[in-house]
Amino acid sequence: DAKTTQPTSMDCAEGRAANLPCNHSTISGNEYVYWYRQIHSQGPQYIIHGLKNNETNEMASLIITEDRKSSTLILPHATLRDTAVYYCIAILTSGGGADGLTFGKGTHLIIQP
């Protein structure tokens, strides 16, 4: 699985869009980009994933660049409950991967009131 690079921390004002970048310059053509988040002391929670096209669900949007070397997770209207560590993970299969996820340190997103 390709290595991903994320900023250590970010701030965002409540009600604004939070844009979390992820660099995955060595990603291969059949690796998906997955995003999870971990709210303090809880288990990680799946947010969204994509391969080439932009994706949107009820939680967030995922924008993947045309060359697939980077992506951005967008939380459209951040709330205080979105304060969490966000993990960007490149995975070889279309699913969670039978051999587990490799977590980095992620981005600590702090939503300011």
Partner 1 sequence: NAGVTQTPKFQVLKTGQSMTLQCAQDMNHNSMYWYRQDPGMGLRLIYYSASEGTTDKGEVPNGYNVSRLNKREFSLRLESAAPSQTSVYFCANSERNTEAFFGQGTRLTVV
Q: Which listed residue (45, 54, 57, 79) binds partner 1 by CB under 8 A?
A: 45
Q: How far is the CB of 95 from partner 1 (least distance, A)?
A: 4
The only residue of 106, 107, 109, 111 in contact with partner 1, by rule CB under 8 A: 106
DSSP 55-110: EE-SS-EEEE-TTSSEEEEEETT--GGG-EEEEEEEESSSSS-TT-------EEEE
Q: Under the criterion CB under 8 A, does residue 40 sit at the interface with partner 1?
A: no
50 binds partner 1 (CB under 8 A): no
Local structure of 40: helix, strand or coil = coil
The span from the CA of 22 to the CA of 27, in Å, is 12
C-alpha to C-alpha distance for 97 and 100, rounded to whole angstroms: 6
Stretch that binds partner 1, among 11-19, 21-29, 38-46, 55-63 (CB under 8 A): 38-46
Tell me whether residue 41 or residue 53 sits nearer to partner 1 (CB atom): 41
- The residues that touch partner 1, with contacts defined as CB under 8 A, are 34, 36, 41-46, 49, 87, 93-106
